Every structure is written in C-alpha cells, then in structure tokens.
Structure 1
Amino acid sequence: MTDGARTSLRQVLWGLVFVLVLPTLVIAAAGFYSNYRAEQQAIDLRMQETARALSLSLDREIDKSVLALRVLARSPSLARGEFDIFYDEAKGAGFAEPYWVSLFEPQGKTLFNTFLPYGTMLPSSNRPEVMRQVRETRKPLISDLYTGSLTGQRLITINVPVILGERVAYILTLAMGLDAFQEIIRDQRIAEGWNAAVLDRSRRIVARSRLPERFIGQPASDYVQNALAAAQEGSLQSVTLEGIPVRTYFSQSPTYGWSFVISRPDAEIALSIRRSLFWLTILIGVILGGILLAALLSRAIAKPVDRLVAAARALGRGERVSDDTTTRVLEFDTINRTLIEAATNIRKHEQEREEALAQMAESEARLRLALNAGHFGSWEYTPAAGSFVASATCRANFGRGPDEPFSYADLVSSIHPDDRVMQAEAIAKAIATRTDLHVEYRALWPDGSEHWVRVSGRTRIGPDGALSMVGVSQDVTERRQAEERQALLLHELNHRVKNTLATVQSVASLTRRSAEGSDPEAWNAFLNRLQGLAKTHDLLTESQWQGALLEDVLRNELDPYQDVMRQRIRLRGPRINLQPSAVLALGLAIHELATNAVKYGSLSVPDGKVHVMWAVTAGGTSQDLLVEWVESGGPLVKTPERQGFGSKLIQRGLAQQLGGEIKLDFAPTGIRCVMTFPSTTVALDQSDADDARERYAS
C-alpha cells in the first residue's frame, strides 16, 4: 500500500466542526424566520377566525331579536285588533334595553310606539322605503344606523311583517340601542392598543372598542370600505381613523350584510421581529463559543487516538495488547477492552443465537395455534416458480384433506367459474402494485357443495430476490348466509312499511278533505283511525305478519262496544285466515263502520245491536268472501245527502287494495253493508273448508 497524501484526524475534526456549524447557522436563521412567519400566519388565521366568529355573533344577536318579534307578531290580541293589550305585551317583551316597539299599518301609519304612552297621536313613518320593502318581500328587514325622530338617539330597527291570512296586515318594528353591539365587543376583551368595530351595511360604525362616543355613526376608513366591497372577508394593511398604521381583519355576515372589523397595530409586529433577532444573536454567540471549545477538545482527542492506533497495529501484528493500556478517554478505552473481550463474546453470542432460535420456534407454535383457533388457514404462493404451499386448515377451506395434493392449479379449478376472473385480477393487482390482497369468492368442494372463502395476503421479497405472496384463508359461508338473510328481512320490512305508509297517506288525504269541509271532528277521527290501524298492526305482529283470523280482526275493532252478556254484537262465520293486506284493509273498513254506528247508528243507543256474518261463496271457477254488517234497534236511518269520509275509505280501501265490491243500504231500520272480495286474499284452514262453502250471508 503506497503512502499518499492523507487527511489527519485533526483536519477531520476541524472539518466536522465547520460542517456542523455552518448548516446550523443557516438552519437556525431559517428556523427563526420560519418561526416568525408561522407566528404571523397563526395570528392572521386566529384574527381572521375571530372576525368571522364575531360576524356570525352579529347574525345570532339579530336573529334572536327577529325570532322574538316573530313570536310577538303571533299574539292573539294583535290578530283580534286589541292594540291596547298588544301594547302592554310589546312593552314587556323583555328585549335588551334600551328598546322601543312600534306597530305600523303596511302603508306606514303609526298605530303605537312603546316609547310614548298608548293613545298618543303619532306621525306616520318617515321611512316609506323600508315599509315598502317589508311589504313586498314579506321578510324581516334590518335597517342601517340612523337617528330616531322621537328619541334623538342613534338606533337600528328590525322590521317584521305581520301576516294574517295571506296579506301583510301590519309591520312590527323593534328599535334597538347600540349597547347590545357594544357589549359584543366588550365580551371579546380586545387587547389594549387594538381596535374592533361593528359596521352596518352602509359601512358606518355601529359599535367600537376605542373612543366609541367619538366615532360611532362615522363611515369606516376608505381602506376598509374598498376591501368590504371587494370580498366577504380578508385582511389588509390600513390606517385607523386615529391615523395609526394597523393590520386589519374583516368579515361580512352572510345573512344581514353587517361586518366585524378588528385591527392590530403594526408596532406589535415590529416587536415580534426584534424578539426573533435577539434570540438569533444569542444562538450565534453560543455557536461561536462551541467552535472555541471544539478546538480545545480536538487536541485532547488526537493524542489518545494516536495511542489507540498503536495498540490496534500491535493487535494486527498478533502482538499481545496489554490490559492496562489506557488512553484516558472512556470511549477509546471501551474499544480497547472490546478487542480483548471479542473472543469471549463470540461464544456468548453463539449461545444467545441458539436461545433465539428456540424462541422463534415457540413463537411459530403460538402463531399456528392462533390460526387454528380462528379457523384461519395459511398459504404461500411464488408466481415465478408456480409453487403453492397450504396448511391443513387452508386445504380444508377448499374441501381437501390435510394430506391430499393441492397445487395452485387445484385451487383455481376449485373456484366457482363466475369468480375466477375476479380472483385472478385481484392477485395480479396485488402483485403489480405491491398492495395487500383482500378477496372473497365461492369455492366448489369435491362433494359439489358451495362455500364462501375470504383470502387475505401480502407480497414479500425473499432473500434470493424472488417475489412471493403469503396470507391466510377463512371459510365465511355462515357470515355470507347471515348477510343474505338480513338483506331479505330488510327488503320484506321495507315492503311492509311502504304498504303501511300508503294506507296512512290515504287516510290522511281523505281526513284532510273532511277538515277542509269544516268538519270539527276531523283531527280526532284521524287519530282514532291511526289508533285502529295500530291495533291491527299489533294483531299482525303477534302472528309475525303471517296473517290473522277474520274473527280476531272483527273482535279487535268491536270488543270495546260489546256488552257484558256479549249479546249486543254477534259474530258468525267459518274460521278464515286473512292475508296481511286484507287484514289492514278490512280492519280500517270495520273501524269506520263501528265509529259510524257509535255516533249515529245502532251502537249509539243501549238497545241497538250489530250482527256481522261472513261466508265463502261456492260455484263458478272462483270463490269470493262475503262479509255482511247489519245494524238494528238504532235510530231511524236517513240516506245521507253526500258521501262521507267513512264510505269513501271503505269503498276505496277494499276496491283498490283487494279488488272488492261494497254495497251500502241505508234502510230506515238500520244500515246494512255487504262487502265482497276475491278469495285469493284469504286462506282457509283445511278442516273448515267444506263447512265454509255451505255458509252464505243472509
């Protein structure tokens, strides 16, 4: 080996010092600058968010007053024209002091103002444009800042239309002092030297943190007005009305167009810069002191290194290195001792290696136990070699025995033909993109049964550079079947809920028409119909929506009107099990008949009776179910002049839903109703089928 020009340790140490110091200085300067910029950006963001939050607070403050006025506008005394009573209600409404409530006619005539006693003669409104806008838009209107003609104070007004029927009958106005907006600013505890202000739509100052008595009512500075005209929110460099350079942040409320402005003096920004420069100077001084200290340490390091080099050369020549050789430097002495202890440590490391192998074997056994406990099968696939290794559980997931040959081709052939393309694409994508594999597909077992298998895997590169994929498989057939059952149940539930909602919609539509006809009992009737529908649902729920007996449907509706001897209401007919759709339709029909009988028919008097008989007709190619309702002993029946709600509901419900036919006979002795609908909506018990065919309605 030739001796050329080489670098000494001292040169390396000095070079190391400069390599560390120079980047440190650059990074420190950049860090301080970045910290300064981040601090300014954080302040900008915080200030902008504060302005935005406070502009929204303005909206909420105004919204509270608008809502209170709308509630006040719904006063019954106002609707009745009792202005003296409404005057007292408005005066005691509890708005934030100071406030006055005025009531105007739509054209501007003043009815009263709570600032003056009730009955005081007042001039018409001097704001016809405001009255016109409220009258035409029919929406609340917030005024800009102005001086009240009665009070001489600076005010804003909230004007709300009072709509009676379809017209604007009155305009209710709330005149507010500026204390509420001044309070919003005071609650923020604006720092001394900063400034915050609330501006109306015309950019005039409504409230201000600094010298409000001097600047309220004045226009904002040109800087702020131009910025608000250009954007909803933002920041800019400007000068306050006092002539102070500031950084200004503004936000305009989206609802009412008022703005909140907050300003931070430029003097505080300069103070932040000086603080960063001070700490940067301190850091530079510390680094220069470190360079001086490094020079002293380099001399202390070079000498022990020379002694260590001598010891290493002696070890390289096979000479004995004395145990008591010391460099008086802890780290170098450690190296010296390490060379001496190397041989001893080799044997120790071999022993540790054997222990590590034993621990790896134990860990592998635990992993195998965990896979078996979770019914996971492990596998490994090497695409280049085409090799495929599968555990016994993995083979079992595909219906193979633990010792049965199972190659990758066998795996592919066991996949359902419709899922093979999907499995191949998933494998190819996972290998190409080096992403995890997650795929589920159907596997056909040798016995012909179909099972669902979930396969997960991950690619890896072996020591030889070959790409392979390892993963697990799991039989998820039971989970898939459970998901299919759940989907079926949800579909069935959706179908039944839609049918029920359609029934409720029909009842509501017909009830609404009755209400439009000035029927005072329409709402109670609607509630009673819903209750009857709920009772019918309970009946179906008890049978898990498998239908219900016709007799149970009748008793469900008529038992509340039955007497103790059970003679007032008589039911007679064969055992017939109705389908769910027929249960709902017939339940509503019987409910309407019973309600009519209680109000006007035989059940409205103690001696009145109701007989319900049913039978299945025989003959022809089809069978029909006949249900006959007969009332007797009640008041004299008159044929109604118009068709009532109950008749419409019965005829439409049975005719439209079940294809039925209704015959109503308003005989003087009592109502008789015969309902007929196809037997396809019923299911007869076999034991009563013959008896049912022989019974007919009278």
Structure 2
Amino acid sequence: MPPRPDPVLWSRTSLRQVLWALVFALTLPAVLIAGAGFYSGYRAEREATDLRLQETARALSLSIDRAIEKSEMALRVLALSPHIANGDFAAFHKQTLEAGLAGPSSIALIEPSGKVLLNTRVPYGSPLPDGRREGAVLKVQETRRVQLSDLQTDPINGQVLITMDMPVVIGDRVAYILSAAIDPAGFQRLISDQRIAPGWNAAVLDRSGRIVARSRSPERFIGELANPVIRDAAATFSEGNVRSETLDGVPARAYFSKSPTYNWTFVVSVPSAELTASFQRSMFWLLILAGCILMGVALAAMLSRLIAKPVDQLVAAAQALGTGREVDGTTTHVLEFDTIQKALADAATDIREQERHREEALARIAESEARLRLALNAGHLGSWEFTPSTGAFVASPQCRANFGRGPDEPLSYNDVLAAIHPDDRARQTEAVAQALKNRSDLHVEYRVIWPDHSERWIRISGRARIGPDGGLSLVGVSQDITEQRLADERRGLLLHELNHRVKNTLATVQSIAAMTRRAAEQGDEGAWDAFLGRVQGLAKTHDLLTDTQWQGAMLEDVLKNELEPYQDAMRQRIRLRGPKINLQPSAVLALGLAIHELATNATKYGSLTAPEGRVSVLWAVTSSLNAPMLILEWVESGGPPVQQPKRQGFGTRLIQRGLAQQLGGEIKLDFQPEGIRCVVTFPIKNVMVEAEEMSENVERYAS
C-alpha cells in the first residue's frame, strides 16, 4: 500500500500560485464591476430617454386636446348668438366671418332635417346642397353634446378634414346644428412647432388609429392607418412604448400617449439604431477595459517570476536564522525584501532587547502593586476577592484587620458571615446576590462583631468580574467606618439640638413681635424701631453663639456684644467686672435680650443720654443654702434724674419674661433718682455650661 501524502505538504501553495490568484482576485471583480457599471449607465440612459420621450408624447397629447378645445369653445360662443334665435342668418354669417374662423376651417349652420342654411366657405345666399351626414346630425340631436368625428374625406370636394358638430338649443329643442370642418393643417403645424429630430417621426392619430398629421412625408401618409402594433397598444393603454416599424419601414420604438378628453393619440417614433448606440458605446469601453486587464495579467506573469526568486532567497535567510546559522546578506535587488532580510538579521538582537524590556515591565508592575498596597493601607482599605462557585475567599491583611483578625490569621467567607451582626446578615446576603445576578457593583454597610465582642461598622464595595477561565467572582475593598458612623450620629444629635434652639429663637422673636404689636396699638410710635433693634440684638447674639458652634459664650462677651457701641475711648463709660462664666446657649439669648433692653432704655432715658453718664455691670457667683447662684447687678449713674414709671413698659415685661420665665431667675428693678439699679439672680445650674468648674470661685466674688 503506497504511503499517504503528508497533508501539510499537500496543502502548501507556491508563491507563483498565490500571485496568479491575487491577479485574478483583483481583475475579476474589476471586470464584473466595470461591466455592471457600463450596463447600469446604459440602463440609466435608456430609462432617462424613455422618460423624456414619454413626457414629450404626454405633453403633445394634451396640446391636441387644447387645439380641439379652441374650436369647441368658438362653436359654443357662436351657438349663443342672438342672430340664430332671431332668424337673422345673414347677420350670423357675417358674425361668423368676423370671428376669424374661416381660414382653412369652415362653419356651417344646418337644420335638423339636414338642410344647410349657410356655410362660411361661400358667400351668404349661395345655393348649398343638403347635408349628407344624417347619422352625425341624428346623434347630436339625441345626445345634445358636441360630436367630434375621425379623419374623413369630404364627398363634395374630396378634402380630408375633421368635423365638429355643436347643438344649438332654443327653448327645449335642438333647433340647429353648428358644424365646423377642421383642416388637419392645424395639427400639422402643432407637430412642426415641436422641432422633432430629423431621424425621428411624430404623428397624430384619431380614435380609429388613422394618421391626422405626420412629421415626415405628411402628404404621403395622412389618412393612412398607423402600424397595427401601435393601434393595438393605444387601444389597450393610455400611454406607453412598443417596438414597431414605421410606415417607412424603419425599425423604431414608438412612445404614445392618448389625450384624456378626445382620446386622440400622439406618437413619437425613435429609430432603434439610435437607442442601441449607447449600449454599443458601453460595449466598446468594456472591450477596451478587458484588453487592459489582459495586458495587466501578462505583466503580472512577468513580475511573478521576478518576485519568486528573491522570495526564495529570503526563505533561505529565514531558515538560516531558525537554525542559528549566519544569515546571507546578499542583496535581493528588491528594497522591501532587503529590509526584511535585515530585519531577520536583527531579530536575535531584538529578542534579547524584548526580554530586557519584559523584565523591566514586570518590575514596574511589581512597583505599581506596591504603591497600590500602600494606598490601600493609607486609606485603611482592605482588598478581597470572593468566588461563589468554589467558595474561595482571599483577603489582604488590612481586610483581616477590619474583621478583627491578625495579619496571618485565616479568614474564610464563612468566617465573614459569622462575624456579621445577626440583624445585618440578610441585607448583606441580598446585596451580594443582586450584584452576582445583575453583574452590578456591590455597596453595603453592616456591623461586625470582633473576637473581643466589640462592635464595628464595615463598608464593603465591590464589582462583579469574569475571570480568564470564564468564572464569576466579586472583587472589592473593605473599610472600617466606625468613627464615621459615630460622627454621623453626633452630627444628627447636633442638628436636632440646633433645630430645638432655632425653634426657641423663633418663639422669642414671635413673643417680641406680639408685644411690639400691642405697644404699637397703644400708641407707641417707636415700637417698630424698637422691634428692629431687638431683632438686630438677637442676631448679634446668634453671631456670638455661631462663633462658638453653639456651645455657649462667656458672660463678659455677651455684655460686650451689647454695650461695646456705647463705650468711650478711655473705656470708662462702661465698666464690666466679674469672674469668667461660660453661659448656656439659652442663657446667652435671654441675657442678651435683657442687656439690650437695659442699654436701649439707658440711651433713651437713662445715664447714657448724658456725656458724663456711666453704666456699671458687676456679677458674681455666690453660695446659698440650696445651690450656687449667679448675681448680676446693673447700675446707672451720672444721668438725668430717674422717675418711677406709672406703668410697666415693654422692655420691663420682656426682661421679666425672658429672664424670669426662661431661666428661673429673679429680677429686681429699683428706679432711684440718681440712676436705675437692676439686680438679676439665677441658679447656676440653669445658666452655666459646667457649674462644677466654677466651684473654686464661689467665695471669691461675693456681693
């Protein structure tokens, strides 16, 4: 049994075969595309010609209708002449001649019996024979419509003409018939005006297919029947084109269109030789292209031999490179092949260079991974990867630390689930399932219980990943966010407290507004200005609290905030003395309003109205039998004499409501002639932030 050929060797193809296949692969599509292009151009030109000639036939068929309609309109106008109704036929004869219709055409007035009353062809009164068109006259009487005849020959003078008969209705009967004899010369002029090409033929056919006018040899063919092919096509279709032969015996393609009103047909015949000329031109250029392609194939055969030899030399160089032998540097006389040969000679050097670059790239990758680990550690982020199909869970040391494990302690996915707070496990399981199902990102926060039973908050972020083996896994990071959660809780508490304090402030403003309204209703003209001043004072107090983040304010700062505008350059007019006391926010607001009222009253009526007036504010913390108390004393001096007020003013009520009701304090106002003295007493626990910090000063300042 003979040995089977090697399939690898059997499937090999030589370079010459590839080159020949390439030549045919390039030339065959070119031939097909060129042939299709030439044929497409021929078809496009043919379709454009068909469309143009068909439109020409359609336009001229409409011109036939218009030419006949002119004669019909002239007859309709004459049929309405009063001379006919009056029997004045001589006047009607004159009117008809003046209408300009005598020309090659003529008009006759006929009685229904067939008697001809007048004819514009002869003078009025000339003896006329009776009409011999009884059938046409009878049809006009029956239909009372205009009747147009086909081309016919006059039996009297042998003239070829077309007749149009119009009924003249007087009353309810057809009294006369107007008959117009239309000479075909008008249709002949219609064709002549179109300037039909010399080799073409145009003709007008009546309903029976008889030639009425013709562009070529009209004297020979008028009155003859057209080609049967054209007559059959015109009888079946309103327009189109057919292959036929002219009456001259010339093969042609006839384009016809039937007029919509009178059903006469206009035909344009183009010799077939002219229509095939474009196809012959396309074939001529196609043959030229085929000759060029054959020349290209011959040239390709020569070039294939020139290419095969240096390729063989190049193959030998490649084999030498593969076996480690020296590569022959003999030129191939082809620039590109010489370049390849040089590239083969440099291949070994390039391989060694690539190995060096590969080692450098691996070193850069390792450095990049180190930077990534450093960034993760700096952000306290631990990396992890979970493969659901195998249950494998890989975690970095920081990720283990986030779950309370040491850097070398094992941490499996089951350990992670066991460490999650029981109330949060369902949420974590649902989030992982959705991320795996939808191939979406994973974002979940939950509590974990460390081995020491402490509770921590962990944020998990991950993304679904398809591995090289097609396996699905989740890759992400973990972060301990316990401090952030605690900060969020503190922020929530602060917002709640701020909301409470804002409501208290609004309640204070509302109370001030209500009291101001009552004062205005009682005739106080300065109530509105006082209200604005109180609101501005309250705003200043809010600014003071904002600077301390609503943690309170020093009593001295509260007093300076209200009284600093009235201080002199030597700082002797306003005297403040007392220990450092940190007031609660509610005490700051209430005391600020009270000091504002006292300062406003002093500037209007008290000591601050005079240049030598003074205000002294002293405060101290004193002990009592029950609890420490804060005593604040306001003393005015150097002002005008003070009189006891007859009624309690708005400011007094505001002080008593703000200090006594809100802070549980006691207010004593003494209107002495030398100046107002106001003493306010508060329980320390109601006004100070931390009362125990002031225990050292309880006995230091006593009034």
Band the TM-score falls in, shorter-chain normalisation: 0.3 to 0.5
Q: TM-score, normalised by structure 1?
A: 0.45
